[in-house]
């Protein structure tokens, strides 16, 4: 029946495409809101080349919805990381805080799944920023709760306590009794790891009182477990054992893993109480757990009990086994890829063992046949290892080619930028020359008189025209010059205008009715004394900047 529903959804999405604009992303969003995850995935899989065929917003929403679907199905992987990036970038830049927060929230869970806890912390914190002032207490509770989880993983217990208290505030605003109880337990956990046991006990007791008052019996096993852990750390082993027994009594029988974990706690408590037979009884039960962490705890606690009994050799043996299991747990928690390889190795090891026993059951076939079989198996394993090596090598080569291509492109861009800067400098120089030429033409009457060798006598009005032309063409040339060099007087500015007109010193001497040497000295005094220029810089070069 479920598959018929999915098929009908796919046919309906094809109909939407045939009738007009592609509305399948909107349909997928509607299905995700209705918790129809498989149907939403089926619709999105019908979209071919979404990055090329969808608008930027639709593609960002498509990437977000597909990532959220993978999160619901617990299938987040490295490919999802790549898929989420355009969604985060688009919605963060567009100011769509609702979608940006959802994308970051999904990214944080992916980082957590890949053991990138610092990245997960950053993603959750960014999501929290988008939630500020939104009034979305449901999501505020979730983000703060998960921030507490990440802090606990990173041994940042103050952060665990702080974010759990923020989650409690959101739960109280929603009047969500279940969330309130979870938050109280989380706060108690934070205080527990901070070794502030009175506060931890206060919040755990508050969680117990709330569970009774709010009729939340499903929470009591968790509350009892917290109370047992706190009393155990306080050294009140009898009370701790009492609460652990209550937790076991309320756990459903099918909850085997949790019950076996509590059995491991009882090993520790009975050992501290000196009831070693009881400790050993629960040790035998706890080590049957498929959970390596539970086994490790059981071996560690029983080792302590044996040590107290004076059975040091047995305590040492169990401690060695605990060390082995603890190493396995660390590897299991930190590297999903290593776990996969370990499972493959165990599978191959089991295959070899099965092959061995089948060979024994067949009345010990010849050693030649056995060696041939083992050789083939070794060859297959070697081929598999080589295949993985070749694939990783090919990826490395591709990455190197991509890096080389990017470096080449960067070099090309730098060359283009340099050429553009050179062209701009040339254009600026040409523009300055054109302005100077135009300035000279505006004062053509004076230039012509100079060229004829006539006796020139400029009036104040003539000089006013020259200064005004200079200011018009060179953007308030004389004003800017005098602001920059306050020592320049009116006569100095006239000399500067003549330099801008590209007049020679001889021509200037005709205009000013002075000897050429006097003009030369005047220009030098302007440059050196009033403009404080270096000896290697000419007045023409200085004025070209204005």
Q: Give tens-digit pLDDT for 463-508.
A: 888 888 888 888 888 999 999 999 999 999 999 998 888 888 888 8
Q: Per-residue pLDDT for 247 more than 70?
A: yes
pLDDT, mean over the chain? 81
pLDDT for the residue 169: 93
Q: Per-residue pLDDT for 514 more than 70?
A: yes
Report the distance separating Cα 187 and Cα 437, nearest Å: 81
What token pair was written down for 70? Answer: 């993978």
Instruction: Tell me the H-state helices in 251-311.
Output: 256-272, 276-286, 292-309
Q: Give tens-digit pLDDT for 329-357.
A: 888 766 644 443 343 334 334 334 444 44
Alpha-carbon dihedral sign for residues 153, 154, 155, 158: negative
Given pLDDT bands bounded at 50, 70 and 90, which one contains residue 18? very low
pLDDT for the residue 382: 80
Report the distance separating Cα 9 and Cα 41, nearest Å: 10
> Average of pLDDT values for 304-325?
88
- For 55-91, the three-class secondary structure string (H helix, E strand, C coil) is CHHHHHHHHHHHHHHHHHCCCCCHHHHHHHHHHHHHH
pLDDT for the residue 354: 41
> Pick from 50, 46, 78: which is nearest to 62 by CA?
50
Q: Output 183 or 347, whichever has higher pLDDT.
A: 183
Count each helix (H run) and each strand (E run) in the chain, helices first: 27, 0
- Give the three-class secondary structure for 229: helix
Among 265-279, 329-343, 359-373, 392-406, the least confident range: 329-343
> Pick from 57, 24, 60: which is nearest to 41 by CA?
24
277 by Cβ neighbours in 10 Å (0-12 / 13-18 / 19+) ranks as exposed
Report the distance separating Cα 352 and Cα 86, nearest Å: 47
Report the distance separating Cα 370 and Cα 469, nearest Å: 106
CB 80 within 8 A of CB 110: yes
Q: Give tens-digit pLDDT for 84-123.
A: 888 889 998 888 888 889 888 989 988 888 888 899 999 9
């Amino acid at each position: 029946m479920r598959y018929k529903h999915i098929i009908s959804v796919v046919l309906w999405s094809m109909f939407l495409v045939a009738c007009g604009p592609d509305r399948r992303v909107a349909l997928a969003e509607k299905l995700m809101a209705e918790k129809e995850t498989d149907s939403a995935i089926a619709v999105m899989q019908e979209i071919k080349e979404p990055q090329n065929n969808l608008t930027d917003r639709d593609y960002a929403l498509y990437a977000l919805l597909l990532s959220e679907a993978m999160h619901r199905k617990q299938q987040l992987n490295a490919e999802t990381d790549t898929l989420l990036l355009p969604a985060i970038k688009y919605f963060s830049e567009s100011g769509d805080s609702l979608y940006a927060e959802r994308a970051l929230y999904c990214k944080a869970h992916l980082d957590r799944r890949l053991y990138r806890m610092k990245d997960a912390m950053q993603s959750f914190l960014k999501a929290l920023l988008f939630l500020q002032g939104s009034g979305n207490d449901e999501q505020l509770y979730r983000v703060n709760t998960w921030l507490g989880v990440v802090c606990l993983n990173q041994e940042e217990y103050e952060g665990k306590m702080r974010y759990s208290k923020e989650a409690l505030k959101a739960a109280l605003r929603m009047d969500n009794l279940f969330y309130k109880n979870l938050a109280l337990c989380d706060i108690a956990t934070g205080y527990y790891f901070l070794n502030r046991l009175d506060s931890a006990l206060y919040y755990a007791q508050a969680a117990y009182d709330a569970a009774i008052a709010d009729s939340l019996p499903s929470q009591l096993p968790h509350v009892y477990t917290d109370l047992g852990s706190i009393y155990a750390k306080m050294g009140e082993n009898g009370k701790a054992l009492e609460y652990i027994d209550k937790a076991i009594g309320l756990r459903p029988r099918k909850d085997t893993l949790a019950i076996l974990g509590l059995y491991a706690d009882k090993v520790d408590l009975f050992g501290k109480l000196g009831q070693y037979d009881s400790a050993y009884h629960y040790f035998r039960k706890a080590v049957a757990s498929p959970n390596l962490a539970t086994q490790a705890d059981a071996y560690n606690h029983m080792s302590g009990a044996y040590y107290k009994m004076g059975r040091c050799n047995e305590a040492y043996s169990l401690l060695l086994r605990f060390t082995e299991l603890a190493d396995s747990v660390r590897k299991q928690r930190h590297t999903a890829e290593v776990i996969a390889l370990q499972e493959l190795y165990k599978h191959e090891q089991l295959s070899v063992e099965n092959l061995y026993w089948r060979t024994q059951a067949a009345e010990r076939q010849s050693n030649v046949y056995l060696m041939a079989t083992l050789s083939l198996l070794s060859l297959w394993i070697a081929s598999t290892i080589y295949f993985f090596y070749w694939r990783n090598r090919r990826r490395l080569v591709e990455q190197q080619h991509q890096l080389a291509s990017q470096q080449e492109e960067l070099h090309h861009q730098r060359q283009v930028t340099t050429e553009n800067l050179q062209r701009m400098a040339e254009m600026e120089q040409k523009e300055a020359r054109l302005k100077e030429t135009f300035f000279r033409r505006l004062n053509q009457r004076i230039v012509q008189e100079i060229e004829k060798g006539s006796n020139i006598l400029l009036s104040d009005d003539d000089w006013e025209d020259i200064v005004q032309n200079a200011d018009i063409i060179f953007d308030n040339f004389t004003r800017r010059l005098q602001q920059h060099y306050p020592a320049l007087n009116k006569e100095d500015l006239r000399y500067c205008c003549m330099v801008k007109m590209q007049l020679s010193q001889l021509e200037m001497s005709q205009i000013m009715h002075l000897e050429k040497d006097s003009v030369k000295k005047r220009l030098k005094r302007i440059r050196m004394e009033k403009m404080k220029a270096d000896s290697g810089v000419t007045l023409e070069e200085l004025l070209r900047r204005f």
